[in-house]
Amino acid sequence: MLSKNKIKYIHSLELKKNRREEQAFIAEGSKLVGDMLGHFHCKMLLGTKEWLNTMSVQAEEVIEVSADELAKVSLQKAPQEVLAVFKQPSYPMDTKVLSHSLCLALDNVQDPGNVGTIIRLADWFGIEHVFCSLGTVDVYNPKTVQATMGALARIKVYYIDLLQLIHSVKDIPIYGTFLDGDDIYKKKLSDHGLIIMGNEGNGISKEVEQLVNERLLIPNYPKGRMTSESLNVAMATGIICAEFRRRQA
């Protein structure tokens, strides 16, 4: 039975402070929940009879709900058969990955959709570690979780002071994109290091910029043509990751 208290609890997880206190997050939809079930501990799962009959579920609590009941608790405009509450994972911090693999860092990226899309891009390009500044939007925001399309199950996301992170590593390429950077298509690129993506409106913060030792530019075409002022941060991330991986291939 879907009680009022359970409905209230699920809706409370829309707020970051409640997600932090409960160490929980919400995922909705058959594809997304299916991807998460094999990777995160499921505290509660609400599914329609039809969905539950097709899935083998391991969860602390499984509740069969009607479409109307799911609509009451769903955060989506069009509820999709299943909603689950998962426990947030805790990953040990290991900065050594920067010395032998390519990683991403998000410097105060604010839009949930952008962060979710970047995590999805990281998954596609085999980048397994994403370091987020303390001012970056919560990856467990329901909108961000949905935008990852399940990639969150395979990518380790950490929240950390980026200045401390960069100061803690030595002789590592620290990449950032700037209008005065070197053309990414002509510059030599490493197979490891940290790629920093900045805030949607302000770019990489001045403090972090001072620690970037490899400045990149995504050129527009043709050179000198009047064009948009900048690229969306998720779109820019896709272009950069694709070029790094193309070189390695």
Whole-number pLDDT of residue 79 = 85
Write out pLDDT tens, residues 56-110.
888 999 999 999 999 999 988 888 899 999 999 999 988 899 999 999 999 999 9
Asked if the peptide bond before residue 112 counts as cis, ω within 30 degrees of 0, the response is: no
**Over the Cα atoms of the chain, what is R_g?**
20
Q: Which residues contact 69 (CB under 8 A, 6 or more apart)?
A: 2, 46
The per-residue b/e assignment along 67-91, b for 16 or more CB within 10 angstroms, e otherwise, is eebbeebbeeeebbbbbbbbebeee
> What is the per-residue pLDDT for 244?
97
Beta-bridge mates of residue 177:
216
Q: 3-state class of 88 per DSSP?
A: coil
- Residue 244 structure tokens: 């790094």
- Dist CA 181 CA 183 (whole Å): 7
pLDDT value of residue 102: 97
Beta strands at 24-28 and 82-87: parallel, antiparallel or unpaired: antiparallel
Note whether 79 and 70 are within 8 A (CB). Answer: yes
| Res 136: pLDDT | 98
Task: Supply the pLDDT for residue 216.
Answer: 97
pLDDT in tens, the chain (249 residues): 789 999 999 999 999 999 999 999 999 999 999 999 989 999 999 999 999 998 888 899 999 999 999 999 998 888 889 999 999 999 998 889 999 999 999 999 999 999 999 999 999 999 999 999 999 999 999 999 999 999 999 999 999 999 999 999 989 999 999 989 999 999 999 999 999 999 999 999 999 999 999 999 999 987 778 777 779 999 999 999 999 999 987
Reduce the secondary structure of 218-241 to three states and give it as a string: CCCCCCCCCCCCCCCHHHHHHHHH
Helix (H, G, I), strand (E, B) or coil at 145: helix
Q: Which residue has the tokens 């990953």?
A: 91
Is residue 8 packed enough to be buried (19+ CB in 10 Å), middle (13-18) or exposed (0-12)? exposed
